[in-house]
A and B are shown apart, each in its own frame.
Chain A
């Protein structure tokens, strides 16, 4: 395992501002997802909801290392990535509820948030489905010399998809500025990854000549430090990288997956929540460093809560698209 460098030594935005910002972003994702859970269980949200709670440090740590015009691709469990890349919570909620003002005019929903303004090429409901898109975006960046990089978020479940290795091979051959971020939350839906994943995950990168590292996904500073290094490397023309991020999904595969004891124990879940919670880890660090006290952290929570509540009310009140919109946007 690669030891993360101290972010304070590599980051231009050192100090309280960056770290408090990352804490606030993680809080935003946490409260957003708790609100999604609430909307869903009250039957106010149609469809499916795959919650990102527990994994917040991954999206925030990686996206904080990116420029606004850098690209990301996301997954079915994508709310955190979209928010971390800069999505607005009101338009996110509106899309999740299928409303006209949502990011995709209500045509995409939870699993397809996309937003060119924040470089979000789209969440993707096919596991591994966006690996080509991210690699293609990196191809464009290289060809046009824009200096952009592309980050491809995927879960460890996508390690079973052949297309991942096809594009990794080409990314290495062509030295494309793409970073493959594997979020290992340990469960391919309802199956522990050890039952589906042979050998050493991290060894798969070097097999293609792709620079590979792993990092503790519950420590946002560590994720940020690793991501920043890999992003700078890619931007400098040194080629793709694989970042394996070890994390944990607090909730089920989706909101309806509530009886989970046939695949994992409540004790295991509780241990992660108690000992490895990314918000607690960062909060403790902030207080230990004297960058914030408990009251300041509470204030962040309360401010974010107000923003979330307001966004939910906005989305609930927003109108649905009229049915005559159904056949618009099929062709450009």
Chain B
């Protein structure tokens, strides 16, 4: 799905091949573990099993069980252990199998990891990465389908990363592991098989830099993670109707590259924000607010928000499918904003 045109800046890369998002994640982990002996990963069924989504296959064979640790089903406990290990010199990467399970880790992330640097007057730091998933439409029902990244965006001291392509996933994960702060890294479980160009050589993508995935002039679609692919599909549909849509991917929700988002809004004068989390008090609300505070007089229309419906994610496919934005609904909303039916 991902092409050179949509990933930006890769035309100059020398040795680029197509790999899946899962492979990109695995490569980032392996390269960082080779580079830095302090990096280790822990989580449930991540060693010989290689994680239920097979994202981590082969890592225990290369790095051994001392650095790829199967934990008990104790999300709070091993997250807490990661905080202490990070404070004392290690670089843990913890694996929370489904994003729905972050509720179990919240005290460790919110009251411990996020705050220890500040509470200690800058003396301690907790450089850990929590990798977890988001995304509906896998028919996994209400406790395995949520997109809860907004929870962490609310907390000072945490960083939140939302890759949308294999290229971004690899470069951002390497930066997250090298960052001195607790970083939460959300992977859309429906995108693990998404292929895209990724260079062979080492690279990182800084946290806090948005990427324009597609240039356009009539409307800006700001989209995150899985919704970037939806937005790109919508942009293709819009192009058939003569509407030029720009797709902007913040890539990290905190730090947030406000300038790139606002500049695009000023350029096109119309903005839709699409995110798979709940709209109410969510990421779309925050980004819409940033746009309206900084680009109000350049806008032709109120900023439109599109997120998950405010219902628990249902199991039955016809019910689940209407809970999240898709290419068609995004294109329809964009057409309406542009005055085109």
Which residues on A are within 8 Å of B, measured CB to CB?
71, 73, 102-108, 112, 114-116, 121-122, 124, 126, 129-141, 143-144, 150, 162-163, 166-167, 169-170, 173, 328-332
Please, which residues of chain B bring their CB within 8 A of the CB of A133? Answer: 80, 83-84, 87, 112
Please, which residues of chain B bring their CB within 8 A of the CB of A112? Answer: 119-120
Question: Which B residues between 255 and 269 are near A, CB-CB below 8 angstroms?
Answer: none
A104:B74 contact, CB within 8 angstroms:
no
| Given A133-B87, A170-B81: A143 and B111 interface contact (C-beta under 8 Å) | no
A332:B117 contact, CB within 8 angstroms:
yes
Please, which residues of chain B bring their CB within 8 A of the CB of A328? Answer: 122
A138-B84, A141-B88 given; 4 more Cβ-contact pairs under 8 Å = A107-B118, A137-B84, A139-B90, A143-B85
B84:A139 contact, CB within 8 angstroms:
yes
Please, which residues of chain A bring their CB within 8 A of the CB of B82? Answer: 132, 136
A137:B87 contact, CB within 8 angstroms:
yes
Contact with B120, one of A122, A135, A139 (Cβ below 8 angstroms)? A122
A133 to B40, CA, bound (A): 16
A114:B71 contact, CB within 8 angstroms:
no
A88 CB to closest chain B CB (Å) equals 14
Across chains A and B, the number of contacting residue pairs, with CB separation under 8 Å, is 147
A163:B107 contact, CB within 8 angstroms:
yes
Produce 1/0 per residue, B100-125, CB < 8 A to A.
00000001100110001111111111
Please, which residues of chain B bring their CB within 8 A of the CB of A116? Answer: 123-124
A143 to B42, CA, bound (A): 14
A102 CB to closest chain B CB (Å) equals 8
| Given A122-B119, A163-B107, A330-B118: A170 and B84 interface contact (C-beta under 8 Å) | no
B124:A140 contact, CB within 8 angstroms:
no
A136 CB to closest chain B CB (Å) equals 2
How many interface residues does chain B have, given as a range?
Answer: 35 or more
B112:A332 contact, CB within 8 angstroms:
no
Which of B72, B82, B88, B111 has the largest number of chain A CB atoms within 10 A?
A: B88
B327 on the interface (CB 8 Å rule)?
A: no
B88:A136 contact, CB within 8 angstroms:
yes
A291 CB to closest chain B CB (Å) equals 38
The list of the 9 closest CB pairs from A to B, nearest first, reads A132-B80, A136-B84, A166-B77, A105-B121, A133-B84, A104-B121, A166-B74, A332-B180, A114-B120
A150 to B80, CA, bound (A): 14
B157 on the interface (CB 8 Å rule)?
A: yes
A330:B78 contact, CB within 8 angstroms:
no
Which of B80, B81, B83 has the largest number of chain A CB atoms within 10 A?
A: B81
A38 to B330, CA, bound (A): 64
Which of A105, A115, A150, A330 has the largest number of chain B CB atoms within 10 A?
A: A330
| Given A133-B83, A136-B80: A121 and B124 interface contact (C-beta under 8 Å) | yes
A129:B111 contact, CB within 8 angstroms:
yes
| Given A143-B66, A144-B89, A163-B107: A121 and B84 interface contact (C-beta under 8 Å) | yes
Please, which residues of chain B bring their CB within 8 A of the CB of A131? Answer: 80
Can you sample 8 A-B contacts with CB below 8 Å?
A107-B121, A114-B119, A129-B111, A130-B112, A132-B81, A143-B66, A163-B77, A167-B80
A265 to B289, CA, bound (A): 57
B318 CB to closest chain A CB (Å) equals 38
Contact with B77, one of A71, A130, A140, A170 (Cβ below 8 angstroms)? A170
B328 CB to closest chain A CB (Å) equals 40
B81:A135 contact, CB within 8 angstroms:
yes
B76 on the interface (CB 8 Å rule)?
A: yes
B156 on the interface (CB 8 Å rule)?
A: yes
